[in-house]
Structure 1
C-alpha cells in the first residue's frame, strides 16, 4: 500500500500487553440521561496539532459550531494563525506536556500525522490527559488493517500487530503498525473513553500531497489520458471537511468506539469517480482504460505515486474500498458529492504559485503517459 510516512518504533514492549486490549467497533453513545448535557452546550476542545493540513480545517469547523478551541503544538509552524479566537499552548509531544497539566477540556482531538502518531507519544499524551478530558479522539488510518480481502470490510476487522506483521530488528515500524499501536496506547490509558477514526486518503483543498489533486488537474487539462483498470475498481476516500465535521460531531455527541472515515457507502467504481470529477471541474478528456497488470509491469503500482487513489479490488485488497459504513453514517458521518470536492480542490490549486502548479507531485508526467498509451495500444493490436 501507499503509506504517507513510516515511523521509528521504539519501546513497544510495554504496549505489547496492551495489544490484547479490545477495540470497540461500532457505536457506543452516552446514556440518554447524559446526552442533553453534551448536545446542548458548546464544548471545550483541545486539538493536538492544529496547523497542518487537517488541523486548520478542524479548528475552523469547531469554531463555526460554537466550540471553545485550544491547540497544542511546538509553536513553530504558524503561531497566531487563528488570532484571538483560539488559545495556543506550546510544548512538545515527545517530552514536554507541561502546558497541558492542571487544565480541563471536554474532549481532545489528536490529529497529528507525523511522529506524534508514534505509540509512545500517544501513550504520553493520553496518560497526561487522562483526568483532564472525558473523551480522547484519535485520528488513525485505514492502513491499520491487516487483511483487506473481505467484502464488505468493517471496523472490527483484524489490525496489524508485530505478531502478524513482524518488523526486522532495527527497522522502523510501517505507518499502519505505528498507528495501530498508537490506538492501543490510547485505549490502554483511557479505557472506554476513546474514539478512533480511521480515514482513508484525506483529500480536498489545502492538501499538499497532490494524491487526489492530480485527478481534477489532469481531467480538467483534457486530451487522451490513462484511466487505470477497467472502471470497476472502487474508490473510498474522504474530503478533509467531511472528516473534521465527523470528528467534531463525535465529540459533541460523546460517541465512543472505532469508526472508519471514508466514503461513499460501499465505495464508488473508478469509472464513476472519473465521471464525477469531470462534472465538477469540466474538461473534455478521453479515457483509455489501461490494464492494471500492464501498468504494474511498467513499474507503476496501484496506490503508488503515478496512480494515487486507484487500487485493485482483488486478492488481499478486494475490500480496500468496499467498507460498510452503516455504523459511521448512524454516528453522523456525511459525505459531500465528489463533484464538489473535485471543484473546490481545483479552485484551491489554481491559487498556488505557477511553479508549484508546474511541479505536481503525483500522477503521470505527460511524456510518460503518452509513452505508456503508445505501448498499451501496440500490445492490444498484436
Structure 2
C-alpha cells in the first residue's frame, strides 16, 4: 500500500510510520519538520497543513491508498485536508479521542455513546478537556462529511509508551527512581486501561489494510491493570527502594492536588477507566501488558530521550508539596488512632 501520514515524526505518528515500514508499505509523511526527525525509510514532504499552497504541493505527489491523520487538532485544519485529499486518497483514517463523547470522563462509555456537539465557539467556562473534545468532534464531522463510507474514526483513550511527549510515565519513573516515600493516589486496586502507542499504531494499519469503515474506541480491556500494578512496574524497572503511600482521593482534592496532571493519570471519575472497546476487539485489537509499556518507556528514556513540551511542564507536584501532603496524611492517621 501507499500510505500518507499527516504528521509522522512524534509519538503516535512516528510509531505508525515505523510499523508501516515494517509491514513493507510505501510511506510518505507530510509535516513541517519541526517536531522531530524523520523515520528512516519514509519519503518526507515538508509543508504546513494549514496552508492551501502547501496542501496543493502535497496533492501533486499523490495518489495514496490511505491517509492516516495523526495530527488533526482543529476543525478548520481537518476541513482543509479532507477537501484537498478527497480525490487523492481512497480512505481517510482519522485519529480522534474518547474526549469526543459527551460523557467523558464522568460516565462509562462504549462505541455508541453520544458525541459532543461541535460549535465554532465553545460556551463560557468551558474546560480545556471539553474544548479539545468539541474540536475533535468537529474534526470527525469534517472527515465523515467528505469521505462518507471511506472514513474511519479511531477514538483512543490515554496513549502511553515510547516517544510519549506529554511525559506521564516518565514523570512517575523519575519520581519513583528518586526513592523515599512516594505519594500514591487513591487505591492500589483501582482499575486503569491506558493503551500502548504501538497497539494503536498496529490497529490503525490493520483497518487501513482491511479497508474497514466506521468508528472504534481504542483502550485496553476494562480491568486490564491497576494503578498499584502500574506504580509497582515503575518501581521494578528502576530498581528503586521507593515506599508507596496510598492517600485517598478526597484528601488529595481537599489539599488542592489537581486531578490528571498533579499526579499523572490520577482521576476518580467512574468513566475515566471504563471505556468499552468491543468493536475494535472484535476486529482484532490486541493490548500488551502495561508492565511491558512501562519497561519499554524506561528503556527509551535510558537511551537519552528527553521529554519536553508545554504539557509536560504542567505535570506533577513538587517534592516539597508532596512532603507537605504526606505529613498532613500522617497527622490525620495519628489523630484517628
TM range (shorter): 0.7 to 0.9
Quote the residue 1:191 is aligned against. Answer: 148
Quote the residue 1:21 is aligned against. Answer: none
| Residues 77 and 318 (structure 1), Cα distance of their counterparts in 2 relative to 1, 3 Å cut | closer
Which has the higher relative contact order, 1 or 2, with Cα contacts under 8 A spaced 6 or more apart?
A: 1
**How far apart are the structure 1 equivalents of 2:281 and 2:327?**
44
**2:10, 2:163 within 8 Å by CA — same for their partners in 1?**
no
**How far apart are the structure 2 equivalents of 1:170 and 1:63?**
41
Paired residues, number: 325
Quote the residue 2:5 is aligned against. Answer: 47
Quote the residue 1:167 is aligned against. Answer: 123
**How far apart are the structure 2 equivalents of 1:250 and 1:299?**
43
**2:118, 2:138 within 8 Å by CA — same for their partners in 1?**
no
CA displacement 1:2-40 (0-9 Å, x = unmatched): xxxxxxxxxxxxxxxxxxxxxxxxxxxxxxxxxxxxxxx
SS of the counterpart of 1:190? Answer: helix
Quote the residue 2:65 is aligned against. Answer: 106
1:332 aligns with 2:298: no
**1:217, 1:346 within 8 Å by CA — same for their partners in 2?**
no
**How far apart are the structure 2 equivalents of 1:205 and 1:107?**
25
Deviation at 1:205, TM superposition (A): 1.6
Quote the residue 2:27 is aligned against. Answer: 69
Quote the residue 2:303 is aligned against. Answer: 351
Deviation at 1:272, TM superposition (A): 2.9
Deviation at 1:186, TM superposition (A): 0.4
When structure 1 is superposed on structure 2, of 370-379 and 341-350 the one drifting more is 341-350
Q: TM-score, normalization: structure 1?
A: 0.78
| Residues 127 and 296 (structure 1), Cα distance of their counterparts in 2 relative to 1, 3 Å cut | same
Quote the residue 2:17 is aligned against. Answer: 59
Deviation at 1:297, TM superposition (A): 1.7
**1:280, 1:340 within 8 Å by CA — same for their partners in 2?**
no
Which residues of structure 2 form unaligned runs of 5+? none
CA displacement 1:182-219 (0-9 Å, x = unmatched): 01110111111111111222221222221222223333
**1:75, 1:90 within 8 Å by CA — same for their partners in 2?**
yes
Q: TM-score, normalization: structure 2?
A: 0.87
Deviation at 1:95, TM superposition (A): 2.4
| Residues 209 and 171 (structure 1), Cα distance of their counterparts in 2 relative to 1, 3 Å cut | closer
Q: What pairs up with 1:1-382 in 2 under 5 angstroms?
A: 43-78=1-36, 81-83=38-40, 85-96=41-52, 97-102=55-60, 103-112=62-71, 116-148=72-104, 149-151=106-108, 153-162=109-118, 166-168=122-124, 174-304=131-261, 306-312=262-268, 317-352=269-304, 361=313, 362-382=315-335
**1:216, 1:343 within 8 Å by CA — same for their partners in 2?**
no
**How far apart are the structure 2 equivalents of 1:377 and 1:86?**
55
| Residues 205 and 322 (structure 1), Cα distance of their counterparts in 2 relative to 1, 3 Å cut | same
| Residues 242 and 373 (structure 1), Cα distance of their counterparts in 2 relative to 1, 3 Å cut | same
Deviation at 1:162, TM superposition (A): 4.6
Deviation at 1:339, TM superposition (A): 1.4
**How far apart are the structure 1 equivalents of 2:273 and 2:28?**
34
Deviation at 1:231, TM superposition (A): 2.5
**How far apart are the structure 2 equivalents of 1:194 and 1:339?**
33
SS of the counterpart of 1:122? Answer: helix
| Residues 162 and 122 (structure 1), Cα distance of their counterparts in 2 relative to 1, 3 Å cut | closer
Which residues of structure 1 form unaligned runs of 5+? 1-42
| Residues 281 and 249 (structure 1), Cα distance of their counterparts in 2 relative to 1, 3 Å cut | farther
Deviation at 1:329, TM superposition (A): 1.5
